[in-house]
Structure 1
Amino acid sequence: MTTQLSRLRPLTARIPGSKSITARALLLAAAARGTSTLWAPLISHDTLAFKAALGDLGVAVENSPSDQYWDVTGIGRAPVGTAKVWCADAGTAARFLPPFSAAGEGTFTFDGSEQLRARPLSPLLKAMTALGAHVETPSAGRLPLTVRAAGLEGGTLRVDSSMSSQFLSGLLMAAPLMRRPVRADLRDSVSRPYLDMTLSLMRRFGADVKEPDNGVVEVHPGSYRPTALVIEPDASTASYVFAAAAATEHKVTLPGLGVHSLQGDLRFVEVLSRLGALVEVSEGSVTVTGTGRLRGGFTIDMGDISDTFMTLAALAPLADAPLTIRGVAHARLKESDRIAAVTHNLRACGIEVDETQDAVTIHPGPLRPARIACYRDHRIAMAFSVLGLAGRVRLTLDDPSCVAKTFPGFHQEMARLFTEYITPEFR
């Protein structure tokens, strides 16, 4: 088998830039004094919404003619003035920009789509208030909200991060703009790799970040400096092409990701290795090769890489034994209730699923054609597209275009890589 697999023609994937890195880099560049260049940013609904929201706050972001890079002319401080900021569907904008504005001076109103309005912000707003912010929200801890800013004091940062690490990331990125040092304990936060990404990028842009104790960080007042940054391909998005390779006996290589990646979701390839795929991670690329068999029969905690749990759930019906995915309760508070969405759609495909508050157990079995309810959630659409391809079953999406939130060209890239792929559009 090894000889046969080694002869597979490698397919080179084209995955757009990381959404998480793009959003963080945009904010950090906005706070720096001078012009930062962000190479290979993600061009998608969410990042364009973030870019436009920064424009509302007075930050100029100019793109090259082919969008190869964005030049961000930072204001060297937190925002000053009055602004109405539209976040559209972008959760990162709604969670990163209010702390940034609260560190400045003025009145800033934030709002977004109905989908974004439904997502809770209470832990973030409570923590901002404890730091000295004045926040008005008529919708019980949700958008719309108004920040009447007069700077933030700093001090000990206490925030409930059991729902999302983005609350803490937003506050940490605003910390150098506060009047006193900020101290935060990260040990009980979900999705810790995203916090590590935040801190790494803050240091890259010149922040004074120390870790005196394991899991405790201190951020000292100061400023950000402009930086040129090459943005890695999105590891969460790459999970779909890697999963498709693992399940279809293809060999897929993605340049630009490697052993030094900032993204915790690259650990998804370790999950694929446990399933039986061959995985190679080098300095500058990742390669996944399917072996013709997917092994089940185990339980895995995906709390730290929960954006990829749906990708594994899409492969689980094809494994040789049941799979249990746990530790993902916070996935219920994303663009959709992702545990419920996965359960509903797998059952529609004829698959037996056991669901708890923070876990699913998926039993292998024959698939039947089904209409997939996407719930306007890009990750549901992409994950079930992989299941349709790998299971060779006709699945139709009720909203195939929702993938534009993070990967507008998803269906085209899947068809380019896998000739058997049929765009699962709903007709």
Structure 2
Amino acid sequence: MGFPYESKSIARIPGSKSLTNRALLLATAATGVSRIRDPLVSDDTVAFRTAVENLGARVDSGPLDAFWDVTGIGGSPVGPAGVWCADAGTAGRFLPPFAATGRGTFLLDGSAQLRARPQEPLYDALLKAGARTSAAPGGGLPLTIEAEGLDGGEITVDSSMSSQYLSGLLMAAPLMRRGLVVRGARLVSRPYIDMTLSLMRRFGARAHERGDGEFVVEPGAYTATDVAIEPDASTASYFFAAAAVTRRSVTVPGLRSGSPQGDLRFVEVLARAGAQVDVGRAATTVTGSGVLRGGFDADMGDISDTFMTLAAIAPLADAPVTIHAIAHARLKESDRIAAVADNLRALGVVTEVGPDRITIVPGPTVPARITCHGDHRIAMAFSVLGLDAPGITLDDPGCVSKTFPGFHDEMRRLFPRYQLPVGAADMTKEAL
């Protein structure tokens, strides 16, 4: 905590991956040309863009990718088509329902990491909706769909592992012959469903919630519109956390009150930890107080993509921190609970875990090499700890390109003390 307080710094946070990929799908299904302003340009969004182009959309880039103009196909796709999802979970979960509403044969596949992620609840829901499909064991990729359109109707999808299954079904629902009434059983990460519904309505869908967790989408069509993409709240969490542990002040313009991104609520957790937080109508600012308070239990079930950010800085707090309701984080790019616990223990930090929780006991750290498991969020979270814990290196610093290729450069710009957390033998092309 040896940093002096400095004047406010402006963090340059790229656009939201969640908003960018949802907008790409809805613009593809729409009639007309939609403009997506300030899209995120990263591994996941480029993979999604390529996928919708393979399904018939045309995407034209503005200067420096300031915007993407998407010429939609005016409904459902027509096969045959192959779709490569790479590592993008949103592509693997959003595109199968959309393809199933179309006509022809579609083959969807992805990387070994994406193939290993659970997909059975979505596969079961597609069968209930009338899809003709075959998949790898457990309903995962590769997935083949012999599409003849979907009738829709009433179904329930197990949403205890991911809200993306439900989002994918909702976005495809207007293209089903009877629309859809769908219930997300044991729904996690609810704010992402609100984001999905909000964007669907922007594109002209008639969708609403009826009762607790039951959603009704009428059959219809999507109409092209313009969408401005906010800075990514999950990515902003690392810079807000860095402010909290360095006594600096970081502002993210465009991330403001009323944001559809649930992960902006991470700043409420930082406020409990002693940071000063201002969520305004034009920007959000976090200022570190000089002391990171612990001694609290945080339910991060709805904002689980940011639990690693808190866990990584918790060793610097003045009392233990427990994070719970995050069982579904075990099913992301890695088993994130286990990965965080193992890395903290390698740093000499006492850590306890349960099926859906992790407790971190503050204490001094020792130098260690962080195992990223190819997971961008592990790399970024432990990079923040590296601001105040010397000797941290990453085994895969380049994995941040999944959502923020310029992460290390921006950290270095805002925090001059930041050292790229790689060893001499690990200097990737990005690091050089």
Name the TM tier (shorter chain). Answer: over 0.9
In the alignment, which of 403, 413, 426 is matched to residue 406 of structure 1?
403
In the alignment, which of 61, 72, 75 is matched to residue 74 of structure 1?
72
Instruction: Verify: 1:418 aligned to 2:428, yes or no.
Output: no
Secondary structure of the equivalent of 1:143?
Answer: strand
- Aligned letter for 1:201? L
Q: Matches of 2:344 and 2:44 in 1, distance apart? A: 27
TM-score by length of 1: 0.97
Alignment match, 1:252 = 250
Secondary structure of the equivalent of 2:251?
Answer: strand
Alignment of 1:20-169 (within 5 A): 20-169=18-167
Q: Matches of 2:208 and 2:343 in 1, distance apart? A: 45
Contact preservation (8 Å) 2:158, 2:184: no
Report the Cα offset of residue 341 of structure 1.
0.3
Q: Matches of 2:28 and 2:408 in 1, distance apart? A: 33
Alignment match, 1:337 = 335
Contact preservation (8 Å) 1:186, 1:192: no
Q: Matches of 2:307 and 2:211 in 1, distance apart? A: 31
Secondary structure of the equivalent of 1:75?
Answer: coil
Q: Matches of 1:152 and 1:355 in 2, distance apart? A: 43
Contact preservation (8 Å) 2:104, 2:147: yes
Report the Cα offset of residue 81 of structure 1.
1.9
In the alignment, which of 182, 185, 195 is matched to residue 183 of structure 2?
185
- Aligned letter for 2:242? A
Q: Matches of 1:212 and 1:351 in 2, distance apart? A: 46
Q: Matches of 1:397 and 1:43 in 2, distance apart? A: 23
TM-score by length of 2: 0.96
Report the Cα offset of residue 157 of structure 1.
2.4
Higher alpha-carbon deviation: 236-245 or 82-91: 82-91
Report the Cα offset of residue 300 of structure 1.
1.1
In the alignment, which of 200, 209, 212 is matched to residue 210 of structure 2?
212
Alignment match, 1:319 = 317
- Aligned letter for 1:384? F
Contact preservation (8 Å) 2:273, 2:294: yes
Structure 2, unpaired ranges of 5+: 426-432
In the alignment, which of 291, 294, 313 is matched to residue 292 of structure 2?
294
Q: Matches of 1:382 and 1:29 in 2, distance apart? A: 31
Q: Matches of 2:119 and 2:224 in 1, distance apart? A: 30
Q: Matches of 1:374 and 1:143 in 2, distance apart? A: 23
- CA shift digits 1:62-97 (9 cap, x unpaired): 111310000000001110120111111111111000
Secondary structure of the equivalent of 1:311?
Answer: helix
Alignment match, 2:428 = none
Secondary structure of the equivalent of 1:213?
Answer: coil
Alignment match, 2:8 = 10
- CA shift digits 1:191-248 (9 cap, x unpaired): 0000000000001111001223243221000000101010000000000000000010
Secondary structure of the equivalent of 1:324?
Answer: strand
| Superposition CA RMSD, Å | 1.1
- CA shift digits 1:241-260 (9 cap, x unpaired): 00000010000011001111
Alignment match, 2:389 = 392
Secondary structure of the equivalent of 1:184?
Answer: strand
Structure 1, unpaired ranges of 5+: none
Higher alpha-carbon deviation: 209-218 or 19-28: 209-218
Higher alpha-carbon deviation: 187-196 or 40-49: 187-196
- Aligned letter for 1:84? G
Report the Cα offset of residue 186 of structure 1.
4.0
Q: Matches of 1:56 and 1:211 in 2, distance apart? A: 32
Contact preservation (8 Å) 1:187, 1:216: no
- Aligned letter for 1:77? G
Secondary structure of the equivalent of 2:118?
Answer: coil
Alignment of 1:258-273 (within 5 A): 258-273=256-271
Q: Matches of 1:345 and 1:188 in 2, distance apart? A: 30
In the TM superposition, structure 1's runs of 4+ consecutive aligned residues that sit over 6 Å from their partners are: none
Secondary structure of the equivalent of 2:309?
Answer: helix
Aligned residues: 421
Report the Cα offset of residue 137 of structure 1.
1.4
Q: Percent identity over the alignment?
A: 63
Higher alpha-carbon deviation: 50-59 or 373-382: 50-59
Contact preservation (8 Å) 2:157, 2:183: no
Report the Cα offset of residue 322 of structure 1.
0.5
